[in-house]
């Protein structure tokens, strides 16, 4: 369908305000009627009860018709809104989102990957959702989209960013100890800036640390490790190179220096030397080539 009839934000907001408005009118109406009845039929004003009637056709027609119309209205806006969320505009750009414990990876048609969801302003984007391990949920409140990612199943959402800006993107399904850290952002860039971003790739610049940074994004390292000194599931990577580290080994605790050797061991076999006071949550990355591990170490060195 083209052009976009209504955005996901408009679709959800319309249904929300219609339902909210009806609820507001009902609340006020019921409260006023109740207060009036209490006042009017107080024992002082009405010492003798009114005669009991068992039927009032007019009243029954009114209290059947009005709620039916209101409920159908809510259904109509809900249904229309739902269809708008499920109809992808023809010119939507495809981006793949991969959810894993505990980070997001976005892959573009040209092979570029990122741990933030960069989108061009003014163009609809279709996000294909996949889960690598367990259930997660893709949730961007600003665009009113939320959808589970299910292992073995592809689902999708679409939205359009009408203004440039940075918008929160959460995982909205409890997925383990790092769930609360599974947050990133949607970065809506003006079309020309987005095109420039999409073309640039660290892999072609030959900068070892930049390649390591890209690899760290792809592997999801930043889901558990911050680079700003804050504690997450794992220790922060800020300034880690050359720092003393207290680690727990099978043969006891020991303090060592985080040199290149240690960092390579910590990537390939993290369980052997767990940093003191952290859970043994990190999987082993023994499948990485020497060149890949070296680029990661170069990147770690650059995190001052
Ligand atoms: Cu992924 Cu919660």
User: What pLDDT score does 242 carry?
Assistant: 87
User: What pLDDT score does 1 carry?
Assistant: 41
Q: State in Å: Cα 134 to ligand 1 middle.
A: 8
Q: Which atom of ligand 1 is nearest to the CA of 175?
A: 2
| Average pLDDT score over residue span 206-221 | 83
Q: Which atom of ligand 1 is nearest to the CA of 172?
A: 2
304 pLDDT tier (thresholds 50, 70, 90): confident
Share of the chain above pLDDT 90, in %: 53
Ligand 1 binding pocket (C-beta < 6 A) is 99, 102, 136, 171, 173-175, 179, 182
| Average pLDDT score over residue span 72-93 | 93
List pLDDT tens digits, range 248-287. 888 888 888 888 889 988 998 898 888 888 888 888 888 8
Closest CA to 293 of 172, 212, 206, 218: 212
Angstrom distance (rounded) from CA 286 to CA 304: 26
User: What pLDDT score does 277 carry?
Assistant: 86
User: What pLDDT score does 3 carry?
Assistant: 53
Q: What are phi and psi of 145, to 5 degrees?
A: -115, 135
Q: Which atom of ligand 1 is nearest to the CA of 180?
A: 2
User: What pLDDT score does 2 carry?
Assistant: 45
Share of the chain above pLDDT 70, in %: 97
Angstrom distance (rounded) from CA 100 to CA 127: 16
Angstrom distance (rounded) from CA 232 to CA 119: 27
295 pLDDT tier (thresholds 50, 70, 90): confident
Q: State in Å: Cα 175 to ligand 1 middle.
A: 4
Q: Which long-range contacts (CB under 8 A, 24 or more apart) does 243-247 make?
A: 245/275, 246/275, 246/276, 247/273, 247/274, 247/275, 247/276
206 pLDDT tier (thresholds 50, 70, 90): low
């Amino acid at each position: 369908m083209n052009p976009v009839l209504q955005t996901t934000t408009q679709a959800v907001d319309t249904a929300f305000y219609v339902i909210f408005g009806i609820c507001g009118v009902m609340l006020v109406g019921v409260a006023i009627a109740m207060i009036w009845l209490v006042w009017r039929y107080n024992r002082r004003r009405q010492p003798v009860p009114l005669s009991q009637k068992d039927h009032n056709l007019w009243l029954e027609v009114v209290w059947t018709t009005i709620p039916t119309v209101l409920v159908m209205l809510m259904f109509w806006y809900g249904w229309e809104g739902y269809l708008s969320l499920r109809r992808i505009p023809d010119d939507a750009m495809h981006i793949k989102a991969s959810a894993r414990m505990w980070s997001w990876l976005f892959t573009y048609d040209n092979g570029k990957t990122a741990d933030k969801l960069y989108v061009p302003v003014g163009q609809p984007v279709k996000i294909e959702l996949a889960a690598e391990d367990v259930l997660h949920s893709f949730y961007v409140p600003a665009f009113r989209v939320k959808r589970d990612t299910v292992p073995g199943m592809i689902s999708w959402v679409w939205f359009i960013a009408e203004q440039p800006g940075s918008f929160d993107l959460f995982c909205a399904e409890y997925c383990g100890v790092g769930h609360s850290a599974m947050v990133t952002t949607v970065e809506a860039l003006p079309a020309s800036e987005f095109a420039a971003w999409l073309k640039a790739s660290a892999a072609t610049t030959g900068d070892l640390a930049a390649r390591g940074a890209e690899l760290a994004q792809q592997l999801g390292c930043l889901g558990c490790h911050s680079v700003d000194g804050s504690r997450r599931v794992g220790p922060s990577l800020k300034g880690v190179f050359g720092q003393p580290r207290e680690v727990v080994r099978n043969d006891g605790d020991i303090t060592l220096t985080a040199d290149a050797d240690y960092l390579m061991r910590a990537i390939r076999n993290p369980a052997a030397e767990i940093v003191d006071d952290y859970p043994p949550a990190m999987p082993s990355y023994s499948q990485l080539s020497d060149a890949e591990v070296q680029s990661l170490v170069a990147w770690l060195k650059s995190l001052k």
